[in-house]
Structure 1
């Protein structure tokens, strides 16, 4: 009778339960698991793969800070399932992903998902970007268009000549969004030194920031240098809401009307921009193609690969 009444789940070894927790990944679910039993409560903090999803964005208040609003939204979205017994966290003046993740000891792979993108574009325009960071920007691939259609219903004519300024604005907007997202990860990177991969994306699939093991180590090693650089800047000139974007070169490709054979649609005003720091030197064709192919899938991936074969416009931009 004793054997029959024994919970079969208790026979599973701890490493196997941790494999299950790593497959679950969702932080809200794992926090709930801590309340199941003392054993679960002790094992959940050892999970190595986590996904933190933000439910909603709280409108900005008097400080006008996207950074603080984002942090408040994370805390409020999780507040109803966090209790002192299940996940003891000391209150702080500004709640952050670092505070929420402080109950986890061995994070190696972390993904943070925002509820929506940051960019406000003209009606009908769509933009996607992927940025890789270390201490600073390593690369950013941007893909956008101004309309989709079939048959002959799209005709943007000489769109590049009249829309170059718009596309530069697209690029700057994407870089600002990427650098703001990178900035808010700094404290988290500093505290979780076992991190090997960090991804910050939005649910709409607009933008993604990626950092691998080498980039994370570079970011930690460069902390002292960053502080010295910030002290050297006049207080009125500092932008404490994002990481500074270095001087970059932008390799831009454009087609007023792009035929996509794979999905059978026509993309109007299709534009691909590959951004890299000037000090890193110009990328080879193979390196640039690798960045583009890793950045997008589906329709955007097909469009980006097609644009790689078209004429390139080279622009340079100072740091900002």
Structure 2
């Protein structure tokens, strides 16, 4: 008996809390699923891991497509056209992508008490012209709470400066392009948020959610308060979708992404900017987006500008280059734009 004890499995001596700690450090779901085949004990403990990273290999669009690399934004634009066609020639309903066996909701059903969750998408959602860079970070509860967007063109100047220089003090073609950047980022963010609503509602212990992409283009974040708001809103979204089902465009618009509320956008812009490391940015633009709330008075203007600093640096403060660009743009003159819900 003493001989058998000396040669017992070393894993059996490791207490459960330590194994949970190891699993949470691993975090990668594919690796954890493989761990379940190690032993019966591991098979029972892996679903208890509470800090997870899910790397998505391919995002399945809500529309039929021959192009597997289509982004949320292009799927959105294509579906608007298809919806118009469906008004004349109805077809079978599009299947709900959240029911796919490869969807995040289905994969995460294996885990019972997720607290911190990161979703990594295979690529960014925006298809940009060569030399264009956009970075964004959006915070959500039941809907958008804030979004910070940084965009610029790189190169030797030339057409980039002419197109986005905004020589008219923020007007003209440059302004149009910057508004397109902003709307595109908001659509991408609302699509990512919608993709995770089912997960949020099913995992009641979830306290932190981050949805990002491998290209580091954009991030959607939800904290404990935002996740609670999202769950409380579970029934309301269905009512909104049903109310909008009078035409095909409205139905698609509401049912495949979270509605962006009416927003107030504070935009700052520099036609040309050279950073301390030699990086040249043309048409550098910083946009801070907030929902329009009722009862906003003039006294909140200063507070709003001060709040921009925290939001912008919080979005890009982990990158020295972008942080320097943001700090300089925050000192620039700002322009206010407002946009209705869409």
The two structures have a TM-score, normalised by structure 1, of 0.85
Counterpart check, 1:94 vs 2:114: no
Q: Which residue of 2 aligns with 1:137?
A: 144
2-structure distance, mates of 1:93, 1:208: 24
Counterpart check, 1:11 vs 2:13: yes
1:13 is displaced (CA, Å) by 0.5
Q: Which residue of 1 aligns with 2:51?
A: 49
Counterpart check, 1:36 vs 2:38: yes
Gaps of 5+ in 1: 71-91
1:156 is displaced (CA, Å) by 2.0
1:120 is displaced (CA, Å) by 1.5
2-structure distance, mates of 1:60, 1:278: 30
1:91-126 Cα shifts (integer Å, max 9, x gaps):
x95332111111100100000000101111222111
Partner secondary structure for residue 103 of structure 1: coil
Counterpart check, 1:315 vs 2:342: no
Q: Which residue of 2 aligns with 1:286?
A: 306
Q: Which residue of 1 aligns with 2:325?
A: 303
2-structure distance, mates of 1:45, 1:307: 46
1:302 is displaced (CA, Å) by 1.6
**8 Å contact kept, 1:155–1:256:** no
1-structure distance, mates of 2:201, 2:239: 17
Matching residue within 148, 151, 165 for 1:159? 165
Counterpart check, 1:229 vs 2:240: yes
Gaps of 5+ in 2: 76-97
Mean CA deviation greater in 240-249 or 117-126: 117-126
**8 Å contact kept, 2:71–2:124:** no
1:155 is displaced (CA, Å) by 7.7
Q: Superposition RMSD on alpha carbons, in Å? A: 2.5
The two structures have a TM-score, normalised by structure 2, of 0.80
Runs of 4+ in 1 over 4 A off after TM superposition: 57-61, 63-67, 152-155, 280-283
1:110-146 Cα shifts (integer Å, max 9, x gaps):
0000010111122211101000000000001000101
Q: Which residue of 2 aligns with 1:266?
A: 280
